[in-house]
A and B are shown apart, each in its own frame.
Chain A
Amino acid sequence: MSVKYFQYTLVLFSSLLLIAGCKDDKYETPQPKGILQNDVIKRSLGPNLVGQNIEFVYAMALPADKGKLVSATVEASIAGAPTTFLEHRSFYTNSGGIDVPVTIGAPSVNNGNSTVVTFSKDTMAAALRYFYVAPEAARGKSVKFTFTAKSSNGETATYSMGPYNISKVDMKLDLKPVDGAACYISIEDLAVYTAAEAAAKANVIDLVYLYRTTPVNFNHSIIAPGTTTPAYLQGITLPAGVNRKSKILKVWALRDQQLARAQFGVFIDDIDFQKLDLADATDFAVNLKAEAGIWVETADGKYRAYVYMNSVTNGTKTATISIKRYAMQ
């Protein structure tokens, strides 16, 4: 085998590569289909909670010479809560960055599983927002959506979305425990109670909120009423029967977006509660700061929760807390 043959082969290969590499893919302008078309995007992120919105944008259009839009319908596999609606306004963003609405029909009507908007404006394109408010009936189930647009020439376009799981998690935002007053927190009721109320509901009180400047570094703390270290209850006299020993694990920088309502792209979902290991957890969390949190398991193991500290105020001895709760049984 001489070097000559190698050279010929190499030259041949190079030429072939050159030809293949230089081949120009010609761009072709997409041709409109000339029919009614539609598309959907899901706007909301994170776990889909009962009572909260799942938000979509439904876009539909057809060529102007083919007719106009007549109606838009969204059918959910599980009927949404009564507050579910499809926008009857199409939005555009003006030069100031503000979304300006253009009314295209009457407000939507919920009929069973369907939400319908009937167009009254002579328009051939619209993008409507759809807010599905997850009902109690959908908890722990999955839901699918069928979006349908109709035009005056009798055409129909449909688009399916989902299935989406509806979380079993409950959420309560902005509870305001006050030291020495409404300081008894119930995970079961997702509420804060005063001492008098707590005495009447002793079996559902899981946590006590305290604020103390002494001892040093105690500050804003959440303690289980049945703690094995009563010293952490700092001079508080518990109402009769309030003695549940919840498990508590202190966390820092777990800023769930739905609880914090801030830009952090972190969401606590069902699986986080299921996989949570609280075997070594204690029964107190001392010196909690804003943006800190605690994992909690109620004494009877019925609920697990994440309590997020939205803010703390030393002067008024108060905190703002938000809770996500998951029923274990």
Chain B
Amino acid sequence: MKKYISITVVMMLMAFAWVSCSKDKPVDEDGLLITNRAECFVSNFELVGSDFQTVRTKNPVIDTVACTINVEVFYGTDLKNLWPQFFLATDAKLDPKITGKVDFSDLANPKQYAVVSGNRQVRKTYKIFITVQQ
């Protein structure tokens, strides 16, 4: 009986050692998984106001080559309290991160956000151009 117990214990120890020695998958400074994907683009873009309703009058025009996003917002939109939402390629992330309301009122200097691919090798900076409906 003793023999069987000791064999089981040794086997379990080996199994634990095996698991603990396996290499962790790479993560970046935000704790996000770094993958092999090189795709890097914005697939959709949303802007919501302080009431969390969309302020877009129509679909955004996203140019993934020129890296521009053109959005028309309703007349009377409070441009100082907007919440942008980016829809990105799989595994990609945004820089800088959006942590709250963003002030888009300086229309002459469009806001810029960089999209970083899943492998963190490709970086594309998008400019957001906002026009107010008249």
- What residues of chain A have their CB less than 8 Å away from a CB belonging to chain B? 215-218, 221, 232, 249-253, 280-282, 284, 286-287, 292
Instruction: Give complex CA distance A281, B103 in Å.
Output: 11
* Given A280-B101, A282-B81, A287-B75, 5 extra CB contacts under 8 A: A218-B76, A250-B50, A250-B51, A284-B78, A287-B74
Inside 8 A of A216's CB, which chain B residues have their CB? 75, 133
Contact among B51, B77, B133, B134 for A251, CB-based, below 8 A: B51
Q: 8 shortest A-B CB distances, which residue pairs?
A: A286-B76, A252-B51, A282-B78, A250-B51, A217-B74, A215-B75, A217-B75, A250-B50
Q: How far is the CA of A221 from the CA of B75 in the complex (A)?
A: 12
Interface CB pairs A-B, < 8 A, 13: A215-B134, A218-B75, A232-B76, A251-B51, A252-B51, A281-B81, A282-B80, A284-B78, A286-B74, A286-B75, A286-B76, A287-B74, A287-B75
- Cβ contacts B95-134/A at 8 Å (1 or 0 each): 0000001010000000000000000000000000000011
CB neighbours of B133 from chain A (8 A): 215-217
Q: Among A217, A251, A292, point to the contact of B76 (Cβ < 8 A).
A: A217
B53: Cβ under 8 A from any A Cβ: yes
Distance A218 CA – B80 CA, assembled complex (angstroms): 18
Contacts of B77 in A (CB 8 A): 286
State whether the Cβ of B52 lies closer than 8 Å to any Cβ in chain A. Answer: yes
Interchain nearest-CB distance for B98 vs A (Å)? 15
The DSSP consensus for interface residues of chain B is loop
- Counting CB contacts under 8 A, is B84 at the interface? no
Inter-chain CA distance A218–B101, complex, in Å, is 23
Across the interface, B80 reaches (CB within 8 A) one of A232, A252, A280, namely: A280
B125 to chain A, nearest CB (A): 26
Interface residues of chain B, those whose CB is within 8 Å of chain A, are 49-53, 74-78, 80-81, 101, 103, 133-134
Q: Which of B50, B53, B76 contacts A249 (CB 8 A)?
A: B50
Residue of A with least CB distance to B101: A280
Closest to B74 in A: A217
Complex Cα gap A249–B82 (Å): 12
Determine whether the beta carbon of B78 is less than 8 Å from that of A250: yes
Distance of A259 Cα from B129 Cα, bound (Å): 39
Which A residues lie within 8 Å of B103 (CB)?
A: 280
Bound together, the chains give a CA A252 to CA B55 distance in angstroms of: 13
A216 to B81, CA, bound (A): 21
CB distance from A5 to the nearest CB of B (A): 12
Q: How far is A225 from B74 in the complex, measured between Cα atoms in Å? A: 21
Q: B76 near A280 (CB under 8 angstroms)?
A: no
Question: Which residue among B50, B53, B81, B133 has the maximum number of chain A CB atoms within 10 Å of its CB?
Answer: B50
Q: Which residue in B53, B74, B75, B78 is a CB contact (below 8 Å) of A252?
A: B53
